Amino acid sequence: MPTDSGKRHNRGSCFWGRCLMNRSAGPIRVLLPGTEDFGIAPVEGQACGRPVVALRQGGACETVIDGVTGVLVPEATDAAFADAVHQVVHGSFDPDTIRRHALKFSRERFQDELREQLGELMAPPTESVAS
């Protein structure tokens, strides 16, 4: 992203591939009203260390920590979204904290937890103590 001096600098890489610094991956990820089942769009923005502005519905409630990794908008109005964007622009959101939160939704973590759960389900039954 351009700095005040006009120079470009690297803000780090995303765990889901390269984070392109273009208009859609700018300083904020704003999601227009709509309900996502899981909320992958917010996680993608957070993976790039960007705070997310999203409607407080559906998957965004699972993936955005209000005030930490972004702002959850209470209602789908222009004023509510404008206020949320203002909070992000004038707030202090830590890109590293946001990125670490996104890692909780990584493929590797999902696979590890799935293997663990399947291992528990497939384990031989333990003998119960007769009463």
- Which is higher by pLDDT, 129 or 71? 71
Q: How far apart are CA 116 and CA 66, in angstroms?
A: 30
- Is residue 122 one of the residues assigned to a domain? no
- Is residue 83 one of the residues assigned to a domain? yes
Per-residue pLDDT of 57-106, as tens digits, reads 988 999 999 999 999 999 989 899 999 999 999 999 999 999 999 999 98
| pTM score | 0.65
- Is residue 72 one of the residues assigned to a domain? yes
Number of domains making up the chain: 1
Domain span at 101: 1-106
- Is residue 51 one of the residues assigned to a domain? yes
- Is residue 5 one of the residues assigned to a domain? yes
In the chain, the percentage of residues whose pLDDT exceeds 70 is 70
Contact 55, 31 (CB under 8 A): yes
Look up the CATH number of the domain holding residue 69: 3.40.50.2000
- Is residue 58 one of the residues assigned to a domain? yes
Burial of residue 45, with CB atoms counted within 10 A of its CB: 0-12 exposed, 13-18 middle, 19 or more buried = buried
